[in-house]
Copies of this chain bind each other. A is one copy, B any other.
């Protein structure tokens, strides 16, 4: 899907466990200004339901698994994130919904900008209207 990409990170696996390093502008295509992580999401809950105008993000599931529904005006796709070495890049004007969080799952998000409520589009009709000019 346009403005989305899966990224496979290098992972150091040894007898001491798994370690995944991510360097800004090298392993991901932007500078990290903000990180956030989501945990303790109960079964049946869906989060997200918004798009951004400018923000670039990478989503990584660090434990358990979670599904991400991505939409743009041309269609939709569901991606399952289930390993710490797999990142999902989401660029501007992609509608996203996160669901099927398993117990103990942790979703880490690396973001290119500080939080800015004005960058969100939270109404799907408004989203379609703006996004149709871009796809």
Contacts and interface: CB of A to CB of B under 8 A. Distances in A.
Contacts of A22: 34-36
A15 interface: yes
Contacts of A41: 16-17
A39 B108 contact: no
This chain: copies in complex: 2
Interface of A: 15-24, 26, 32-42, 45, 47, 62-63, 84, 101, 104, 106, 108, 110, 114-115
A19 B35 contact: no
Given A17-B45, A104-B104, A23 B115 contact: yes
Given A63-B106, A104-B63, A106-B63, A20 B45 contact: no
A23 B34 contact: yes
A13 to B, nearest CB: 8
B104 A37 contact: no
Contacts of A37: 19-20, 62, 84, 108
